[in-house]
Amino acid sequence: MMKNKKLLVVVLVLVMIISAGTMSFAETDYEKFELFIDYIENYYYRDVTRDEIMEDVYKAMFNSLDNHSAYFSKEEYSVFTEDAEGSFGGIGVTITTEDGYVKVIQMYEGAPAMRSGMQVDDLIIKVNGEEIIEIPLDVAASKIRGEIGTDVTLTILRNGQEIDIVVTRGLIVIKNVEYEILDGNIGYLKITRFAENIDTEVHDAVREFIQNQVNGIIVDLRNNPGGRVDTVVKVSELFLPKDAPILQIDYRAYRDEMFKSNINGIQQPMVVLVNRSSASASEIFASAMQDNDRAIIVGETTYGKGTVQSVIPLNDESGFKMTIAEYLSGKGNTIDGVGVVPDIEISKKNIINNDFAPLNQKRDIYLGEVSLNVYGVQQRLNALGNDLDEDGIFGNNTLVAIKNFQRANNLAVTGRLDVKTVCALESLISNSSDRDIVLDKAVELLR
């Protein structure tokens, strides 16, 4: 009897749906939408409120546009609009998206995430049980952040296994700009994010570099997720000649814009460091330097985010951001989905190679020799960022690479493959996990 009663209910609902399909009720899409809401509220097998349905509808609406448009609930919008120049409640990691997953690419020393056992390359797939796969990065970040002292349960994917980690959110203070002068009188400037007004901090760095008459400047944009367009334009001007093109913005609803440098910036030789997590405003900076032959770009092809979003607050304290334009490099090159390709491609992964030929040297090797030792040296030099033919022939290109290596490592610049050079090369390779070989390459280029 109970089985027949359930069947009667199912048949009744199906008849109602079929009957509705024959009616001319959907004079507008709004009427159709209301019909769906009513049916979900009345016949869905679990209780669900109209507000819950609408929140998901708003999210789906913006998610359907592109990876960077998003709707924020009241709580998410509050976290999203926090002042990143100050402090906030978080776990102390830098994240990016990779194949739809939220990936940890950097951890702050001593931060809550590190203390809780999280690791670089962990994939965060759930926050407090809610799946965050295939959602905008900003939305994922807003879910991970929260009030200082509160716990958040993160489900991570590590080596194919799911692990739950409970992290107590702490006070996270971000330094957007750091600078120093390295050995060899080379200015080093790291920009973590192009936040509002950091151009004044970068200006201070440039002033110190000028006062110390540095031989060159390294601008490190690795893991820089972007920031404000107006800020990156101001920072770029500090390194470019007057009237150099920086950026083009292509709008659909507004007049297109072209940005050029208004000043004559610093002229010292430059290297810009980038990786796969350098995105948005950091790509604008890198492309501006590349377009104007102002700097050598070293590292990995960048993320490829070449769109502009507008953030709109709503009366109920929720909000949304929507892509309103595409930006191109100053010379009109596409960045979105393409990224900035470095002049010299190198990453720490280049050093991980178990197939190097052995080095067994008992005498100095000179230009013109052909041997397995030369081949092994070429392999190792390429792992450090060179682009040599691995043919075992000690030719002119190999000679130049050896001299550059000797110079960068304070060895006698002889161009010979002597015992000291080979030992230094082997030592550098074996200790590569503790060295920043991308930065080493930048220093070598400026010496």
Quick: pLDDT tens for 112-143.
Answer: 998 898 988 899 999 999 999 888 887 888 88
Would you list the DSSP string of 230-294? HHHHHHHHTTS-TT-EEEEEEESSS--EEEE--S----S-EEEEE-TT--THHHHHHHHHHHTT-
Which of 345, 375, 398 delimits the end of a domain? 345
User: Do residues 411 and 368 share a domain?
Assistant: yes
Percent over 90 (pLDDT), the chain:
41
Question: Which range (32-41, 84-93, 215-224, 283-292) has the least confidence?
Answer: 84-93
pLDDT on residue 433: 55
Q: Residue 168: is its pLDDT beyond 50? A: yes
In terms of C-beta density within 10 A (0-12 exposed, 13-18 middle, 19 or more buried), how is residue 270 classed?
Answer: buried
E strands within 267-381?
270-274, 296-299, 307-313, 319-329, 344-345
**Overall number of domains in the chain:** 3
Q: Please report the pLDDT score of residue 63 as a whole number.
A: 84
Mean pLDDT of all residues belonging to the chain: 85
Element (H, E) at 144: helix 137-144
Q: Which amino acid is at 233?
A: V
Q: What is the pLDDT of residues 74-95, one digit of tens each?
A: 877 877 776 444 456 789 888 8
Instruction: Tell me whether residue 8 is in a domain.
Output: no
Which of 113, 140, 173 finishes a domain? Answer: 173
- Provide the pLDDT for residue 348: 65
CB distance 292 to 240 below 8 Å: yes
Instruction: Compute the average pLDDT of residues 257-267.
Output: 95
* Same domain as 300, residue 200: yes
Residue 437 has pLDDT above 50, yes or no: yes
Task: Show which of 298, 314, 345 is a domain's final residue.
Answer: 345
Across 370-386, average pLDDT: 86
Give the model's pLDDT for residue 11: 35
Boundaries of domain holding 254 = 177-345
